[in-house]
């Protein structure tokens, strides 16, 4: 007597399907930044959330530039160059050490967030 062989059929309901689920990979690396001891330049990108207005508008850019001027020489962080784009800011900064980079970027981010929230008459997260 012959044994009937079953044919594999594709699942039609539920379960794993080709292309389903969350996309692999992340947009932001979560690896720790390399440590440094002496003044070193670093490229930093700061991206704003979707609900924030276009950063290249005259009103937003003026406030971002003012915040960058205020942070000059504070916390051991120096902004060498910057570029403001629609939804993010590129910064070339120089810091005395790891702590100066961290504290300086925190201070700058807080200043920018407060300025943009005040301009948009809103509250909450900006970055």
Domain boundaries, the chain: 40-120
Residue range 70-126, pLDDT digits in tens: 888 788 889 999 999 999 999 999 988 888 899 999 999 999 999 999 999 999 999
Torsion of CA 36, 38, 40, 46, to 10 degrees: 60
Q: Does 26 score more than 70 pLDDT?
A: no
Q: Where are the alpha helices (DSSP H) in 43-97?
A: 58-70
pLDDT band at 47 (very low <50, low <70, confident <90, very high): very high
The hierarchical CATH code for the domain 40-120 is: 3.30.310.50
When the pLDDT of each residue in the chain is averaged and rounded to a whole number, the result is: 86
Q: What is the C-alpha to C-alpha distance for residues 104 and 66, in angstroms, rounded to an integer? A: 15
């Amino acid at each position: 007597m012959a044994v009937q062989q079953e044919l594999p059929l594709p699942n039609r309901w539920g379960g794993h399907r080709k292309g389903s689920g969350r996309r692999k990979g992340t947009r932001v690396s979560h690896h720790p930044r390399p440590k440094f001891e002496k003044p070193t330049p670093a490229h930093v990108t700061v991206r704003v959330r979707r609900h924030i207005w276009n950063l290249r508008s005259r009103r937003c850019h003026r406030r971002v530039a003012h915040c960058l001027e205020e942070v000059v020489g504070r916390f051991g962080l120096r902004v060498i160059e910057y570029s403001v784009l629609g939804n993010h800011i590129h910064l070339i900064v120089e810091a005395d050490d790891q702590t100066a980079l961290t504290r300086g970027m925190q201070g700058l981010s807080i200043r920018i967030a407060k300025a943009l929230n005040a301009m948009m008459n809103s509250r909450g997260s900006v970055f």
